[in-house]
Structure 1
Amino acid sequence: MTTEVLQTADAPTTRDAGWRDVAAVIGARVLTRLQLVARAIRPLAWVLMALSVGFWILGQIAGWAEFTIAAVVIAITVALCALFLIGRTAYDVSLDLARTRVVVGERAVGALTLANHGTRAILPSRVVLPVGSGRGEFGIQRLAPGAEAEELFAIPTQRRGVVKVGPVSVVRGDPLGLFERAHRRDDPVDLFVHPRTIVFDGQSLGFLRDLEGMPAADLSRDDVSFHALIEYQPGDDLRHVHWKSTARTGTMMLRQYEETRRSHFVIGLSRSSGDYSTAEDFELAISAAGSIGLRAIRDSQRVDMRVQGRELPAGTGKQLLDSLSGVENSKPRDGGIADLAGILARTMPLASVVVLVCGAKVRADDLRLACSRVPFGARVLAVVTDTTVSSPALRRIGDADVVTVGALEQIPLALQKVLA
């Protein structure tokens, strides 16, 4: 008996909850529609509609026919402009960039294709193509069923970076600009604007022999990669005598080896704004890091690159340049080159060659500290960028070579001085 009473009492509550759910769904849909309508109304339209209502009320209260007529004219004008939103804009949009990777200074060329695959014509509209912080606009005429329209465009790339192109928006509006309805089409495309780099020849910046290294063309009396047998020379290490060959030939023969080279090449690029005098010095540092990294990749070395706050993908030349495209200045509180060198020592303790790249505002004491923090046994090269110098300069800080360059073209000559 008690159970029946409880079920009877709960029934109205369940029905009320169901109606509340239905009302919530309907309310959400109505709110979404109202938001879409509100987004299509420009500020000028709101002003005119407010004026129309104000003039109408003033005309009725004061009995002035002029205000009443003005209110009617404004209302009719707003209504006629709203009619321009009627109609579909169901274009099939295709955004195609000829190249998604360019070097700073080159122009990226692309094409925007709009097709009407419907059975009815599409009235004239406007297409907006966002490009980074700017945007391009194209006027599309009436498009008949089955017709296509193609617009070509060029994007100037004066600055390095990753530029987001798109998404394309098809805009319908009125001549007075009171209403505007935008429909997004297609997905955005990332345009990588790579830094300038320079290709140079010559041997890489030093190696260390390692069990996991690669054989080189240089021959050695003592290593782990066997190459051939040679005759004993006074002073050679007797531990490498090949006794079987010695017994067979009657001449003391020694094993000869190829030097194996460890190929872990690490680049630490400071992006701290406190390390650079000018923005040009910072861009030169990025170009220098990219050029040296590409040289190491061509030498089949494992390349790792790090900036303050994160490690940059650098497994291939494309990954390296893509990563450098998005590098931006950081605040001095994020640490300078000395802090970055400490992070390299902790995260990459087996590096064989470490290249530190920074600007001319780094003090000599900080640079000495940075060079002392690199992994033990690694060869250290510091590259300082200073666009005011006319020729590369070389100096020593402890066991590290420090080169100062003022232009990208000076890097090959500076590295020749290091290897000399």
Structure 2
Amino acid sequence: MSGLLSAVRDRLAPVLGVISPIGWAVLGAAALCWTAGSLAHLTELNALALVLTIPLLIAALFVLGRAQYAVTLDLQSHRVVVGTRAVGRVQVANPSQRLILPSRIELAVGRASAQFLVPRLAPEASHEELFAVPTVRRAVLVVGPVRSVRDDPLSLMRRQVTWAKAQELYVHPRTVRLDESASGFLRDLEGTPSSDLSSSDIAFHALRDYTPGDDRRHVHWRTTARTGRLMVRQFEETRRSHVVVALGTRRDDYAGEDEFELAVSAAASIAAQTIREEKELTAITPEARQRTAGLRQMMDDYTVIDRVPGRARLHDLGQKAADLAPNASAVMLVVGSETSPGDLNRAATRLPAGVLAIAIRCVDGAEVRRSAIGGLELVTLGSLDDLPRALRAVAA
């Protein structure tokens, strides 16, 4: 019995789903008037019931039948930068051999929707609509699905059919390119000397006496001839440039949404420059580690970063940087205006010894300033366009 009821319900659901809440109210009032008029033999109630029934019948004519559309949703690009428009098109075609009456098409874009009218389509005819999605914030927007809608003027009934699936649109943060002088804080690919000595590397340091096991290729024959003792070259170990970009995301560290967007854009700009210069990169937040295998993947990850409430401390982010990249040559901490000097200092103490530590403090509208907190270089940044100048100040 339950199976029969379920089958009946499934059959009736598409039909009953066509009626809008207003339509259900009118239908209920009409049924009540018909019942009361018949039982009480009141002509007035029967007349009222007829008046209510006629609009329902007319509404049913509007939604009767089903159009056989072929709908294509095409985005010109699935990734754009904040401030640029995402352009796309919706093409509606009639693949059947009969005329299709006009209808309305709805395209969902995030929480909003766009509507446009499709004219009467002859057999094998098509209609195309172009659309542009303005982007003012980082986001992953869901564009679609595309639905055809048929309803009556009184909105008593509404029939919609989904034709094209939704697609994701990534709105990446705005970034700026950093010139060579601006990115001079990044160690070059050949590496920088460390305090560790090695018998084989590229940075020559000094000469020492030969010991068994030394590579004969490193014997310095001129000095050996002069002193009468075998002398070999000793080198300083070098390390490949490894940059860590650590973005703080604690809500209380930022004065507002615009300030956080500035921080995300600054972190993404530095990370993107590091990838372009083919240096080793580790990009992190307290909650996640961004993918750095390619620029597009990394920007996708920066798109979904958001401020988080809670007690995540900045020195924990410093410790995470030290754990993930113990041989880092430079660590960039990107924070908000509400971050205290004490928090910055505690974060700096967690970083690997000898690392170049720079904190970029984002303060919306502030002038570029440079200061120091212990061994940490602190730069105040008020605008993304000032980032190259701010980094040049550090490199100077």
Fold shared by both chains (TM-score > 0.5): yes
Residues 1:224 and 1:113: Cα distance change in structure 2 (over 3 Å): farther
Please tell me the residue identity of whatever aligns with 1:179: M
Give distance in 1, aligned partners of 2:279 and 2:107.
Answer: 41
Q: Which residue of 1 aligns with 2:330?
A: 353
CA offset digits 1:35-93 (Å, max 9, x no partner): 32232211110110111122223333444312211101211220221122222222111
Match of 1:205 among 185, 202, 221: 185
Residues 1:258 and 1:174: Cα distance change in structure 2 (over 3 Å): farther
Q: Which residue of 1 aligns with 2:105?
A: 127
Match of 1:238 among 204, 208, 232: 208
Please tell me the residue identity of whatever aligns with 2:139: G
Please tell me the residue identity of whatever aligns with 2:390: A
Structure 1 residue 282, shift from structure 2 partner: 0.6
> 1:151 and 2:129 equivalent?
yes
Partners of 2:202 and 2:238 within 8 A in 1: no
Residues 1:244 and 1:377: Cα distance change in structure 2 (over 3 Å): closer
Q: Which residue of 2 aligns with 1:362?
A: 339
Residues 1:341 and 1:216: Cα distance change in structure 2 (over 3 Å): closer
Partners of 2:219 and 2:233 within 8 A in 1: no
Q: Which residue of 2 aligns with 1:343?
A: 320
Give distance in 2, aligned partners of 1:288 and 1:206.
Answer: 15
Q: Secondary structure at the match of 1:205?
A: coil
More deviation, 185-194/143-152: 185-194
Residues 1:44 and 1:224: Cα distance change in structure 2 (over 3 Å): farther
Q: Which residue of 2 aligns with 1:410?
A: 386
Residues 1:221 and 1:363: Cα distance change in structure 2 (over 3 Å): closer
Q: Secondary structure at the match of 2:386?
A: helix
RMSD: 3.1
CA offset digits 1:328-383 (Å, max 9, x no partner): 2211x151423322333344434332211110101111111111122444322111
Q: Which residue of 1 aligns with 2:370?
A: 394
More deviation, 52-61/169-178: 52-61
Structure 1 residue 109, shift from structure 2 partner: 1.1
Q: What is the percent sequence identity of the aligned residues?
A: 36
Give distance in 2, aligned partners of 1:221 and 1:366.
Answer: 31
Match of 1:269 among 229, 238, 247: 247
Give distance in 1, aligned partners of 2:135 and 2:75.
Answer: 14
Residues 1:312 and 1:69: Cα distance change in structure 2 (over 3 Å): same
> 1:89 and 2:67 equivalent?
yes
Which structure: greater helix fraction? 1
Partners of 1:293 and 1:303 within 8 A in 2: yes
Normalized against structure 2, the TM-score is what? Answer: 0.87
Q: Secondary structure at the match of 2:162?
A: strand
Please tell me the residue identity of whatever aligns with 1:96: D
Give distance in 2, aligned partners of 1:205 and 1:144.
Answer: 65
Structure 1 residue 247, shift from structure 2 partner: 7.7
Ranges in structure 1 where 5+ consecutive residues have no aligned partner: 1-22, 209-213, 230-234
Please tell me the residue identity of whatever aligns with 2:338: K
What are the equivalent positions in structure 2 for 1:56-71 lying under 5 Å apart?
Answer: 56-71=34-49
Q: Which residue of 2 aligns with 1:215?
A: 190
Aligned residues: 386
More deviation, 372-381/286-295: 372-381
Ranges in structure 2 where 5+ consecutive residues have no aligned partner: 211-216
Partners of 1:78 and 1:178 within 8 A in 2: yes
Partners of 1:215 and 1:259 within 8 A in 2: no
Give distance in 2, aligned partners of 1:24 and 1:172.
Answer: 33
Give distance in 1, aligned partners of 2:246 and 2:286.
Answer: 9
More deviation, 257-266/174-183: 257-266
Q: Which residue of 1 aligns with 2:153?
A: 175
